[in-house]
Amino acid sequence: DAKTTQPTSMDCAEGRAANLPCNHSTISGNEYVYWYRQIHSQGPQYIIHGLKNNETNEMASLIITEDRKSSTLILPHATLRDTAVYYCIVRSYGGSQGNLIFGKGTKLSVKP
C-alpha cells in the first residue's frame, strides 16, 4: 500500500470548515483513499473513502486531485466533538487482506 504524508497537527475554529490535507504521491491505479479518525480513548471510526471522484457523506467531503497524488478531507462545520486524530490511508481495492496500515495522522484541535 502507498505511503501517505499528513501534517502532524492543525487547529480549527468551531463552526468553521476544517480542511485536512494528505499527500499520497505514489498511489497506484487500484488504490483507494480512506479516512478514519480516532477520538481520544476510543477506537478508530471510518469517515469516508474514494477512488478519483469527490465523495460526500453525512460526516465529511473528500476531494481528490485529478492526478490522485493528494486529497483533502473537509469537515464543513467543525464542532468540539470533531477534535481527534485523523488518519489518511491508501489501500488496494478488492484485495483479500484488508488490514489497515495507520501512519501518525493529523491531530485536529477544534477550538471554541
Partner 1 sequence: GAGVSQSPSNKVTEKGKDVELRCDPISGHTALYWYRQSLGQGLEFLIYFQGNSAPDKSGLPSDRFSAERTGGSVSTLTIQRTQQEDSAVYLCASSTSGSSYNEQFFGPGTRLTVL
Footprint of partner 1 on this chain (CB under 8 A)? 32, 42-46, 49, 87, 91-105
Nearer to partner 1, 12 or 37 (CB): 37
Closest approach of Cβ 15 to partner 1, in Å? 28
Cα 72-67-107 angle, rounded to 5 deg: 20
Q: Please name the residues in contact with 103: beta carbons below 8 A apart, sequence gap of 6 or more.
A: 3, 4, 5, 6, 87, 88, 89
Closest approach of Cβ 105 to partner 1, in Å? 7
Closest approach of Cβ 20 to partner 1, in Å? 16
